[in-house]
Amino acid sequence: PIDPAANGVAGAQEAVKYYRLSEIEEQNTFKSTWIIINNNVYDVTKFLEEHPGGEEVLREQAGGDATESFEDVGHSTDAREMAADMKIGELHPVSWRKLEPLSPRPHLTSLPPTLKWRLPVLHSATTLWSIMSVSAP
């Protein structure tokens, strides 16, 4: 059979594989250790023992998002290239917001309810002033 990828035919690269967070979370064992960095999914199973920072730190992040700790260390370009070789796919966009809760919008939540629902129709300082004077007790 003809394998287009083996011939280096343009456009024959495999499509990106997307993983849901739930699938990644299961890969936290000695047999299979995956981590997420910047929405990319890495299989670090075979890398654990070679990692200069030790295998423990990788295990701690297994099955989850290691972006912050990875960036905190200030990994070298070399380290980033090594990571690229271990990339197996990307976090499916539906799982992105599960990683970090959507931040609340304090400027809206701190407003009185009467103002909140009127916000979309606010146009000028004059309008704002008239609404505020009407809502004042």
- List residues near ligand HEM by CB under 6 A: 35, 42, 44, 51-53, 57-58, 61, 66, 69-70, 73, 75-76, 78-79, 82-83, 86
For the chain, the C-alpha Rg in angstroms (whole number) is: 24
Least Å from the CB of residue 99 to ligand HEM: 14
Instruction: Please give the residue whose beta carbon sits closest to ligand HEM in the complex.
Output: 53
Q: Which C-beta is closer to ligand HEM: that of 82 or that of 128?
A: 82
128/135 Cα distance (integer angstroms): 11
| Closer residue to ligand HEM (CB): 26 or 68 | 68
Which of 69, 65, 62 is closest to 33 using CA atoms?
A: 62
99 neighbors 36 (Cβ within 8 angstroms): yes
Nearer to ligand HEM, 52 or 93 (CB): 52
CB nearer ligand HEM, residue 46 or residue 105:
46
Helix intervals (H) in the chain? 21-25, 55-61, 67-73, 77-86, 96-99, 106-109, 113-116, 125-135
Residues 6+ away with beta carbon under 8 Å from 101: none
CB of 35 to ligand HEM, least distance (A): 6
- Closest approach of ligand HEM to the CB of residue 112, in Å: 44
Closest distance to ligand HEM from the beta carbon of 63 (Å): 12
